Structure 1
Amino acid sequence: MGKKIIPIIFILLLIMGINVHNPVLAAGNSNEDMTRAEVYVNQAIDLASKGDLSGAGKAYDQFNKTWRQIEEGIKADSATAYRDIESNMGKVVYALTIKKQDQVLVALKDLKAVNDKFASGGYPKEAGFKEEDITLDEFIMLLQETKKEVKEQNQHDALEGIKKASDSWLSVEGVVVAQSATVYSDSERDLVTIQAMLSDNPPNYKEANKTIDNMINYLTPLANKSQYTYWDAAMILIREGLEALLVVIALMSFVKKSGEGKGKAWIWSGVLSGLGVSVILAIIVKFIISSGAFGNNNALIGGWTGVFAAVMLLYMSYWLHSQSNIADWNRYIREKSQTALTTGKLISLGVLAFLAVFREGTETVLFYIGMASQIKLQSLLIGFLIGAAILGILAYLMVYVGLKLPLRPFFMVSSIIVFYLCIKFTGMGIHSLQLAGLIPTTNSVSIPSIDFFALYPSWESTIPQMILVLGALLIILFKNIKSKKLITSTNNNI
């Protein structure tokens, strides 16, 4: 029984481990923490007044490092103070970037003033910091503000703006995907592309401005819609559930073909765990920490689960392909004493089902929560039931057709489907990690954007997909050569 909770433990560890790279100081008095941190601001002011901007920059960097360790305490005490300090820190970074002594001094003194105000208790105590979800109109305004910074070629503030938009994307993506899957995919692609353009050295302001303009143009018509139908709700479940369904059905068909009854229990355990954790996490995000505050972590979770699932799908695809020879399959059954799957493979089936359902399930639930205020409850429920019914029919047809296929075509078709999902999950996973800022992005106009394969115009996500395809072709070629040699050798012996 304990083994069946492996998927849940795995994902909880993953979620808890996401922010281990950002240590936080032990809880203490945030006013005293700020007083200690401000020593570095005073050093920076002293050095800047002497004309040593390089030294001032290094001193400010020390303040910034300390700030990252104490900011949670300040954020919990006063949201207003937190925002004022962050805003003035941005001004300091910009002033140091353009290397103008007078502006550096002004920015540092302004930062010192808000720090002093907080340390002396000048900011009122608040109930903590909670970023509110934003509307699509407000999201478009974020893009417009970022565009303004891009036009002024203010790299730091432009980057901060597009990162804020990326973090806020979770608040509005449900509204977008309910109306257009294409616009949803384009938006996620362009958010990553703009960050890469602004991070370049030198920044590509011209293309960044053009891409932001394009985003504003295709998102604006969607912001005008205030009511959704049951079909909008149904399409969300169909679109988001199809990839997970393909994985689960491929696994179910496989265990039925192998005659391994225990495999079904593991798969259903993974499916139900994935659904349960998805709902729990989505509710926590929506009603406790908000979509806006969770935006970056959502991309990290989606990215890592996508990558892990892709690795497991790659193995599954290779294994299915290797069993497409009937003689090999019969020999495998005999070696396992009529037990088609080892315990390790049974566990992996459950984990893979969990990852596939969890990755798609969390977004689906968040989409529904996001559009709940703009659709009648009756329409939402009807749409959900229609989507579930369509997925159920597709599942039945897939299983029925799969069981009717002879062994060799079954394994060949299954391996192709699973390999396709491996390629798509790889692209989606890496792209999500790029959206979170964990992996850099190198854009290329020579790479097309193809949603069906989750192909994005960046080398970091495309190269692994190309390696997978090339590796698969080499394996097939090697097996064909080996098979021909075996046939030739057999004929010669005869």
Structure 2
Amino acid sequence: MDKHYSKVSFYRLAKTVTFCFFIVFSGASIGAEKINFSPAYIKLSDAIGATKSSQQEVAKNNLQEMANYLNGLNIAQTANKQVVFSALETAKKNPSVDNLTALSSALIKLEKYVNPVDYKSMRKQFIKRVMPTFNAMAEAVNDKDMDALQTTFRIFNRAWAKRERVVHETSMGHYGRIETALALLNVAKARTALSWDEIALQSNRLGETLRSFNNGEIIATSNSDMGLSEGITLLNTALSDYQQQNSPAGNQHLLTFIKNWPVFENEVSTRSPGLYTQVESHLPLIIAADGNTKSQVKLAQLITHLSALNPGANYTAMDAALILLREGLEALLIVIALFSAMKATQQKSGQRWIIGGAALGLVASLLMAWGLVRFLPSNLAGSTREMLEGIVGIVAVIMMLFVGLWLHSKSSVVAWSKFLQKHTASAVTAGSLLSLATLSFLAVFREGAETVLFYAGILPKIALSQFFLGIIIALLILALIAIIILKTTVKFSIPVLFKVFTWLIYFLGFKMLGVSIHALQLTGDSSIHVLDFLPTINFIGFYPTTETVVAHSVFVFIVFASISWQNKKQ
């Protein structure tokens, strides 16, 4: 999907989901000196929606309102402004998708011209903050110290993620080379048959590109956007490379696909959630395995399934419903489990803390989604979202261990009787309340931003009526699930209820831990060591890598050790 389409889609989303009881924050530019283009984007997105629904007169009225707003802004008569109004006139005469796309592109250029970014200062900050981290990483490569390399690689990756915008916006040639070298370096250090020569090669290429950018050199590049069809072509090329025993070329093509995957992943996720999961699960493992025979079969299957999709077709209400159901169900189960536990014990303050945590998580996820779309290009927004999802998920798992331990401590009749005697007239302890609220917040925050971004991606290809219908269907299903859980749990004795919720929290924590580590592996923030003899089990978040197996083993050990300790204590 085009970069400008992503931006327009978000403003449209911000307006429409207000009626679905979401809290929306405007896209006004920060600072009094900035000119606010948000209303113009909203009118443009309305015109796109009307055009998609064949409502040409409505689209023309939206464009006229957009023109009226822009005329009221204090913008000097420049070439950029003239291009926008020329595109506006063309679009008003013929509000086609192509004309509206051209208008969107012109409007974005005008906004960048009117609200300029101080790239000179950003470049200085880039050199100051990023280069020391690279130098530390290069030193670890020279010393052939893998422990130091793993640490410095993560530090460099974080520094790069914070400052990469200046490279992306001023030199796409450098940006592409840096991303490629970084990805290849990550794969090189993750191989079972370690080659320090290959690691040094990628490290040197990365350093040369960084120094070239710092010196103000120019690298030509193509600014073409990649869609799903181009991505499938890359996968076919990679498969051909592997079949011809050319693993480096095959890995390079898969890395290019992964780098661009966040731009068009919503086209896959909304039409086939299972296939979306397979793509994210298998591709890093195929690269780490150098495209061996077993991996080639998996890659061929992915290509077949992706080719069967029709990315040009419009989305339906069912697509919109599946997004919310897929992303919201896990968070709902966690929140409802905590809420039911507090309701069963008649702890009203605990119920308020849990609902408050979930509400705060929703607001925070909307803010994060707005920030990702507003300040980052679409491919960076996607990869940053994956990284945040992984980090937040791991923090949530830690909280799940604490909450699970607390729930299990109340899951026997004797322990429950002692609890009632101790807290007859008082609420749950402040520490427990904070833990419950924090977990509720993290559960919603982790899934909320991804849901918003997926909706932003499908809006240009779905009628507004279908979009609303899909959300209503999903909300009704989620509400029904919540009611069933609340009604069913009332029939359980409280110790049994706490025991059920303990194991539910632990199961969701096990799955979330695996998914979070895998998300960090996708973005290169975690190493990948493949275990070919193990299967991928998406349902429980199990992936055949050393990192996942070790993390899951530690998680299971902690769970059973804490249960054993609680039982002895009771």
Work out whether the TM-score is over 0.5.
Answer: yes
In the alignment, is residue 318 of structure 1 matched against residue 405 of structure 2?
Answer: yes
In the alignment, is residue 355 of structure 1 matched against residue 442 of structure 2?
Answer: yes
Q: How does 1:5-20 map to 2 (within 5 A)?
A: none
Check conservation: 2:404, 2:505, Cα contact below 8 A: yes
Check conservation: 2:345, 2:494, Cα contact below 8 A: no
Q: Distance in 1 between matches of 2:336 and 2:318?
A: 24
Which amino acid in 1 is paired with 2:232? Answer: I
**181-190 or 133-142, which moves further after superposition?**
133-142
- Residue 291 of structure 1 deviates from its aligned partner by 2.6
Write out per-residue CA displacement over residues 237-293 of structure 1, whole angstroms, 9 at most, x where no aligned residue: 112111000000011011112222122222122211211222222233335423312
Q: Which residue of 1 aligns with 2:170?
A: 77
Q: Structure 1 length as normaliser, TM-score?
A: 0.71
In the alignment, is residue 444 of structure 1 matched against residue 537 of structure 2?
Answer: no
Q: Distance in 1 between matches of 2:556 and 2:275?
A: 28
Q: Distance in 2 between matches of 1:130 and 1:278?
A: 33
Classify the secondary structure of the residue corresponding to 1:346: helix
Q: Distance in 2 between matches of 1:264 and 1:335?
A: 20
Q: 1:406 aligns with which of 470, 484, 493?
A: 493
- Residue 214 of structure 1 deviates from its aligned partner by 2.9
Classify the secondary structure of the residue corresponding to 1:440: coil
Q: Cα 1:325–1:219, aligned 2, differ >3 Å: closer, same or farther?
A: same
Q: Which residue of 2 aligns with 1:175?
A: 267
Q: Distance in 2 between matches of 1:330 and 1:88?
A: 61
- Residue 120 of structure 1 deviates from its aligned partner by 7.7
- Residue 135 of structure 1 deviates from its aligned partner by 2.5
Write out per-residue CA displacement over residues 102-127 of structure 1, whole angstroms, 9 at most, x where no aligned residue: xx9xx99xx89x959x9688789xxx
Q: How does 1:44-83 map to 2 (within 5 A)?
A: 73-80=166-173, 83=176
Which amino acid in 2 is paired with 1:457? Answer: P
- Residue 74 of structure 1 deviates from its aligned partner by 5.0
Q: Which residue of 1 aligns with 2:307?
A: 220
Q: Cα 1:130–1:288, aligned 2, differ >3 Å: closer, same or farther?
A: farther
Which amino acid in 2 is paired with 1:142? Answer: L
Q: Distance in 2 between matches of 1:460 and 1:121?
A: 39
Q: How does 1:299-448 map to 2 (within 5 A)?
A: 299-336=386-423, 338-448=425-535
Percent of aligned pairs sharing the same letter? 29
- Residue 424 of structure 1 deviates from its aligned partner by 0.9
Q: 1:459 aligns with which of 535, 546, 558?
A: 546
Q: Which residue of 2 aligns with 1:229?
A: 316
Check conservation: 1:302, 1:429, Cα contact below 8 A: yes
Q: Distance in 2 between matches of 1:265 and 1:291?
A: 37
Q: Cα 1:282–1:167, aligned 2, differ >3 Å: closer, same or farther?
A: farther
Q: Which residue of 2 aligns with 1:258?
A: 345
Which amino acid in 2 is paired with 1:305? Answer: V
Q: How does 1:19-58 map to 2 (within 5 A)?
A: 27=122
Check conservation: 1:279, 1:362, Cα contact below 8 A: yes
Q: Structure 2 length as normaliser, TM-score?
A: 0.62
Q: Distance in 1 between matches of 2:441 and 2:402?
A: 16
Q: 2:368 aligns with which of 270, 277, 281?
A: 281
Q: Which residue of 1 aligns with 2:254?
A: 162
Q: Distance in 2 between matches of 1:377 and 1:461?
A: 41
Q: Distance in 2 between matches of 1:347 and 1:390?
A: 29
Which amino acid in 1 is paired with 2:264? Answer: V
Q: Distance in 2 between matches of 1:87 and 1:474?
A: 43
In the alignment, is residue 141 of structure 1 matched against residue 228 of structure 2?
Answer: no
Classify the secondary structure of the residue corresponding to 1:324: coil
Q: Distance in 2 between matches of 1:385 and 1:308?
A: 31
Query: Highest CA radius of gyration, 1 or 2?
Result: 1
Q: Cα 1:414–1:218, aligned 2, differ >3 Å: closer, same or farther?
A: same
Q: Cα 1:86–1:419, aligned 2, differ >3 Å: closer, same or farther?
A: closer
Q: Distance in 2 between matches of 1:452 and 1:98?
A: 37
Which amino acid in 2 is paired with 1:238? Answer: L
The alignment's C-alpha RMSD in Å is 4.4
Q: Distance in 1 between matches of 2:564 and 2:431?
A: 29
Q: Cα 1:77–1:234, aligned 2, differ >3 Å: closer, same or farther?
A: closer
Which amino acid in 2 is paired with 1:239? Answer: R
Classify the secondary structure of the residue corresponding to 2:543: coil
- Residue 473 of structure 1 deviates from its aligned partner by 4.8
Aligned length: 413
Classify the secondary structure of the residue corresponding to 2:525: coil
Q: Cα 1:84–1:325, aligned 2, differ >3 Å: closer, same or farther?
A: closer
Which amino acid in 2 is paired with 1:374? Answer: K
Classify the secondary structure of the residue corresponding to 1:222: coil
- Residue 193 of structure 1 deviates from its aligned partner by 1.0
Q: Distance in 1 between matches of 2:411 and 2:182?
A: 61
Which amino acid in 2 is paired with 1:358? Answer: F
Which amino acid in 1 is paired with 2:493? Answer: P
Classify the secondary structure of the residue corresponding to 2:426: coil
Q: Cα 1:74–1:325, aligned 2, differ >3 Å: closer, same or farther?
A: closer
Unaligned runs of 5+ in 1: 1-23, 41-53, 55-64, 199-203, 484-494
- Residue 447 of structure 1 deviates from its aligned partner by 2.0
